[in-house]
């Protein structure tokens, strides 16, 4: 993987914990105003304005997310405990367009945990034509730091299966947990 700053950790979540996390997520209400369903914790993120401000504080992360947030620090992936979590649900055929996470809104490391189904994440240099694909397996963690966080876009193509390394991998429902640290603007 030639994306500087990107780290991939297979098997970050144990199988019984994956099931428990999915059950916890599914017991919470979903927001349905995007093409895919999402849940926001810690701070609501305004996708249109690309901003977070103190009025968007929702409360601490839910109890089911806190052990993972703590492990991200204990494992040396994040310097401080993340205070924002977005849960994304992708049914087969759904994705997320290429983007760099809001630079003034969020700190230097973004961590995303994959539950339920693998998928391919595509990374492309924000300037230039370098591109890479990475398979995010169920229960894995991907860490975007350094250039991969600030100078590369990431996307999940909207399709029902992925082709990587000569294999075709059908997708099923994927739920991702993306942990960030908010830089509160206007405080
Ligand atoms: O689903 C993922 O792993 C990535 C989510 C993402 O890029 C985002 O919420 O901005």
For the stretch 35-66, pLDDT in tens is: 999 999 999 999 999 999 999 999 999 999 99
Q: Which helix (H) or strand (E) holds 74?
A: helix 66-74
pLDDT of residue 1: 67
pLDDT of residue 184: 80
- Tens of pLDDT, residue by residue over 74-97, are 999 999 999 999 999 999 999 999
Global pTM reads: 0.97
Q: Which helix (H) or strand (E) holds 72?
A: helix 66-74
> For the residues 7-26, what does the mean pLDDT come to?
98
Each domain of the chain, given as residue ranges in start order, spans: 6-180
pLDDT of residue 44: 96
- Tens of pLDDT, residue by residue over 92-123, are 999 999 999 999 999 999 999 999 999 999 99
Closest residue by Cα to atom 2, ligand 1, is 176
Which of the listed residues 36, 154, 155, 182 should we mutate to test ligand 1's pocket, taking the one with most ligand atoms within 8 A of CB?
A: 154
Region class of 127: left (phi > 0), else alpha (psi between -120 and 50), else beta: beta
Fold of 6-180: Jelly Rolls (2.60.120)
User: Which atom of ligand 1 is nearest to 101's Cα?
Assistant: 10
User: What is the distance in A from the centroid of ligand 1 to the CA of 159?
Assistant: 15
Which of the listed residues 100, 156, 173, 182 should we mutate to test ligand 1's pocket, taking the one with most ligand atoms within 8 A of CB?
A: 156
pLDDT of residue 108: 98
């Amino acid at each position: 993987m030639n994306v500087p700053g990107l780290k991939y950790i297979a098997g970050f979540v144990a199988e019984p914990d994956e099931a428990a996390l999915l059950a916890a997520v599914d017991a919470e209400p979903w927001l349905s105003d995007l093409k895919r369903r999402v849940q926001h914790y810690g701070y609501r993120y305004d996708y249109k304005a690309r901003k977070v401000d103190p009025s968007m504080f929702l409360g601490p992360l839910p109890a089911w997310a806190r052990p993972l947030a703590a492990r991200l620090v204990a494992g040396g992936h994040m310097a401080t405990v993340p205070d924002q979590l977005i849960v994304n649900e992708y049914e087969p055929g759904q994705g997320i367009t290429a983007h760099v996470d809001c630079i003034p809104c969020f700190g230097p490391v973004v961590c995303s945990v994959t539950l339920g189904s693998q998928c391919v994440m595509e990374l492309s240099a924000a300037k230039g034509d370098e591109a890479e694909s990475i398979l995010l397996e169920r229960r894995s963690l991907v860490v975007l730091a350094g250039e991969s966080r600030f100078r590369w876009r990431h996307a999940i193509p909207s399709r029902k299966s992925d082709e990587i390394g000569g294999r075709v991998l059908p997708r099923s429902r994927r739920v991702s947990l993306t942990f960030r640290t908010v830089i509160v603007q206007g405080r």
